[in-house]
A and B are shown apart, each in its own frame.
Chain A
Amino acid sequence: MDLRRTMLFIPGNNPSMLQNGGVFGADSVILDVEDAVAPGEKDAARLLVAHALRNVDYGRSETVVRINTLDTFGKEDIRAIVPCEPDLLLIPKVETCADIKEALSLVIEAEQPGQKPVNLVALLETPRGIAEAYNIAQADKRVVAIALGAEDYTAALGANRTKAGTEIFTARTIVVNAAAAAGIQSIDTPFTDANDEEGLLEDTIVAKQLGFKGKLSINPRQIDVIHSVFNPTAHDIDWAEQVIEAIRRAEAEGSGVASLNGKMVDAPVVNRAERILHLARMLGMVKEAE
């Protein structure tokens, strides 16, 4: 699975941000032609993003484009953007499996021969979207992640969006569960106060605790903080290596059961250890396994 600890929104009508987007080290950059762009500028932003995709080097960041909804400008967005070979499209306000299928058929139509398939991330921002989370998550193998958009979601609920986030607790766990059940990634909603570094840290820790694999970001200053939360610590890596070592020892001794520090090491524990080591390897924190 690809690293998506941070997915940074870049306004699609801002040439300066578009050309610098790759500099911040985010795992993904989301070139946004939806909420960041006024209706009168959708045409210009579409062109800027299309040209940016073809000409700007985004380094190790995956390129994502948040298109408009299909019933507004989304269809023209797909036609213009897909041939420019973004890695993913972020589809906003997804409510049903059918929304995904409709978008996907337009994407496939727009893909050029020989082009790497463009995958999808569904942004769930409405109560219906949350209710349909699992169906959306497993709508197609090209859906690689689902993300929560809490601002629109709480507005639709008629609830206040708070820093503590109690009002989105259920939506968060639904998204995490649905993604896990479908075998794809879950991405948490952005922390919108760009000046509150402590608040961001706390919110990201909660997200990780709940099982999210990454977080949407609205400001480059948030990247390092979010990464620090999702990265395994030296302690985590040590523990994971010990677990794997315990398994190896058990196999070598022909024993059925491995144990570490008096606790049984069973499948879920091994699973967790392997995930940590996999992430650590991707981040270059440990050498490749032999």
Chain B
Amino acid sequence: MGKIFTTAQAGTLESSDIMITVVPAAEGDGVIIELESIVMAQYGSAIRKTLTEVIADQGISDIYMKAVDRGALDCTIRARALAALGRAGAVPKGEML
């Protein structure tokens, strides 16, 4: 079971980047993702799906994540999410991909 221990942030508000903040949640709170994006209409669901996947792959079931997206590509979203989780104390699981 993956877990994070502190609040942490990765990414910037520059064009093509995404700023992700993660905060530990109580057991049973579930995965709560708050998403803002300049391409919400076109890619909102895709972004949410990616973030959910990364969290699930790391075995985390309870977490609060806020993401402010400036048109980041999928691989960037994954990299930033993993960076934030790593900084929050999650031990990275599996392949980088």
Chain A residues at the B interface, C-beta cutoff of 8 Å = 14-16, 18-19, 43-44, 47-48, 50-52, 54-56, 80, 83-84
Whether B17 and A16, one on each chain, are in contact in the complex, defined by CB atoms closer than 8 angstroms, is: yes
- 6 new A-B contacts at CB < 8 Å, known A47-B83, A47-B96: A16-B14, A19-B73, A47-B79, A50-B79, A55-B74, A55-B75
Chain B residues at the A interface, C-beta cutoff of 8 Å = 10-11, 14-17, 72-76, 78-80, 82-83, 86-87, 95-97
Number of A-B contacts (CB under 8 A): 56
B25–chain A nearest beta-carbon distance, Å: 23
Q: A16-B14, A19-B16, A43-B86 are in contact. Are A56 and B75 (CB under 8 A)?
A: yes
A37–B59 CA distance with the chains assembled, in angstroms: 30
Q: A15-B17, A44-B11 are in contact. Are A80 and B96 (CB under 8 A)?
A: yes
Pick the residue among B11, B76, B87, B95 that contacts A43 (CB under 8 A): B87
B96–chain A nearest beta-carbon distance, Å: 5
Which of A16, A54, A84 has the most chain B CB within a 10 Å cutoff? Answer: A16
B92–chain A nearest beta-carbon distance, Å: 9
Q: A15-B17, A44-B11 are in contact. Are A83 and B95 (CB under 8 A)?
A: yes
Instruction: Provide the residues of chain B in CB contact with A19, threshold 8 Å.
Output: 16, 73, 76
Whether B97 and A43, one on each chain, are in contact in the complex, defined by CB atoms closer than 8 angstroms, is: no
B75–chain A nearest beta-carbon distance, Å: 4
Which of chain A's residues has its CB closest to B78's CB? A51
Instruction: Provide the residues of chain A in CB contact with B97, threshold 8 Å.
Output: 50-51, 54, 84
A64–B73 CA distance with the chains assembled, in angstroms: 21
